[in-house]
């Protein structure tokens, strides 16, 4: 039963840490707030770019950081 529990959980701690790290970066760039709500800058970026890969590159390259509300 313990082995089955391990398989079902499948690196939950690792995934949670990755999720928290991504949220911290998005919060730092003011794409989301502390409650994980999408801010104006994030909404504009999502409307301007429907391609998720390109949008991710915009966020993490720093291109969007210079934008203001």
Q: What is the DSSP letter of 7?
A: H
List pLDDT tens digits, range 13-41. Answer: 777 888 888 899 889 888 899 999 999 88
Tell me what percent of the chain is helix, strand and coil, each rounded to the nearest 5. Answer: 70, 5, 30
CA distance 49 to 53: 9
CA distance 28 to 51: 22
Q: Please give the model's pTM, rounded to 2 decimal places.
A: 0.56
The pLDDT-based confidence of 69 (bands split at 50, 70, 90) is: low
């Amino acid at each position: 039963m313990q082995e089955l529990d391990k398989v079902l959980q499948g690196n939950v701690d690792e995934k949670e840490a990755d999720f928290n790290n991504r949220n911290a970066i998005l919060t730092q760039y003011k794409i989301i707030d502390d409650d994980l709500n999408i801010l104006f800058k994030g909404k504009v970026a999502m409307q301007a770019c429907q391609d998720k890969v390109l949008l991710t590159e915009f966020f993490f390259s720093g291109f969007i950081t210079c934008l203001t509300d």
